[in-house]
Structure 1
């Protein structure tokens, strides 16, 4: 059983790769599954029809040949996925499946299939077409299929029909097909809206998971991801990368004297000041408590020092309110330019060491590595 399950899973995942999105991977898997089912059903029915024909070129013979051609097309869809794993390979395969299905259904309407039961298969068209084509494209394909089917069934004199259907059967087949199609269209519309809503919520949750709720800046998790990305980019392109650690001086005194709400306001305002002063490629994060970490791509230590002094001066000039009282705060900054042999933990540690050198040097200053 385990071997069968493993083989079946491998079959369904033919044509998938690590770069596929979950939606694309699902479409490839369903294409493989539907191709497999379509291949075996049409193969069995085709062989059965040929056996019934007993070698004579009658309706069963032509039905059998048509079913075997459809079976070959369904099998080809898998070969396309297996050997042509290009960006749009799965789309070609899906189009082949839906095209083969619709042509086969139209053929069954024209010929009637076995004892005029062929048209009963057309109800599988709406879900398949809408799944592979999506709402907009699926609607167009369904509309074209329905139009051709109506022309075949209702054209005066049954010009396009090899089978004989009563008027009641033809009209009810058309009405029921349109009804089923509309139900599937509504379902696909609802599914796409729900999927879009879930995607938006997922993106929002991902965004919020990387933001500090107090300051609105990147939090530690978000910053670590950016650090890793920029570090790798710096190594590839041999660019400069500088880190800067900042701490609000005597922040505990602010909390003790004015309360934590005022202290939170100071963190928020300082964070906003930092964020507005940076370039688009720079990032500042609330690293923890009253500490901030700056990520400065393509920046030397000397350039970062100039920025640090500018920020330090701006912070010291800004007034903060606590009821009727106003006060100022200062910041200390430690700067470290990464070297190719550095890892991130070491670089952050060096920036933190320089920050504490700044604090030991009387605070309200910036210290860079020697």
Structure 2
């Protein structure tokens, strides 16, 4: 797509995964905020983390697992969703013009499919967990940094609640957002 070509031209692609990198996410988030302001639109940002029951997986097995999970899930996201690699286990999804309940509903189905698939990596991994934190613009953040930080807060809360949990950011100061699993 056009967005992927733009990211490649500006060195905003992770060479290992072929996904947008952290810098690419920052650039695309800024563009999405500008677009949302100009056209009175919303969008969602979702951070997700991939883990397993085995904490001591060999690095090469973990790398294969991440590639396999991504190959399995990317077709489920839809063509208007952009995926970025934040680090080895954390990824960001940008859902343009998607409301929170749509993202939540779609990801519940993705969780179900991940939970049903076994084993992974030729039998080296029996079970995969994905935890998510999600925010919606503009209610849960006005800037790139605020959106990412609030999505991280929701992700940490999801990890505390257990495997395969999705949390929607909730601001204790003014009640923006709500908590959901």
Which TM bucket (shorter chain)?
0.7 to 0.9
SS of structure 2 residue aligned to 1:280:
coil
Q: Please say if 1:285 is aligned against 2:87.
A: no
Consecutive unaligned residues of structure 2, counting only runs of 5 or more, are 170-177
* 1:333-344 equivalence runs, <5 A: 333-339=132-138, 342-344=142-144
Larger CA Rg, structure 1 vs 2 = 1
> Of the two structures, which has the highest relative contact order with CA contacts closer than 8 Å and spacing of 6 or more?
2
Verify the 8 A CA contact 2:83 2:93 in the aligned structure 1: yes
Larger strand fraction of residues: 2
Which of 96, 105, 111 in structure 2 is aligned with 1:297? 96
Matched, 1:220 2:22: yes
Paired positions, count: 164
Please tell me the root mean square deviation across aligned C-alpha atoms, in Å: 2.4
Q: Deviations over 1:325-350 (max 9, x none)?
A: 45221111111111166111111111
Q: Which residue of 1 aligns with 2:46?
A: 244
How high is the TM-score relative to the length of structure 2?
0.80
2: distance between equivalents of 1:204 and 1:336? Answer: 25
Given that residues 251 and 290 in structure 1 are in contact (C-alpha distance below 8 angstroms), is that contact kept between their aligned partners in structure 2?
no
Partner in structure 2 of residue 352 of structure 1? 152
When residues 236 and 204 of structure 1 are mapped into structure 2, their CA distance, relative to the original with a 3 A threshold, is closer
Q: Is the 8 A contact 2:52 2:125 kept in 1?
A: no
Asked whether the equivalents of residues 218 and 285 of structure 1 are also in contact (C-alpha less than 8 Å), the reply is yes
- Structure 1 stretches of 5 or more lacking a match? 1-202
- What's the offset of the Cα at 1:250? 4.2
For residues 39-80 of structure 1, what are the alpha-carbon distances to aligned partners after superposition, in whole Å with 9 as ceiling and x for unaligned? xxxxxxxxxxxxxxxxxxxxxxxxxxxxxxxxxxxxxxxxxx
Q: Which structure's residues are more often helix, by fraction?
A: 1
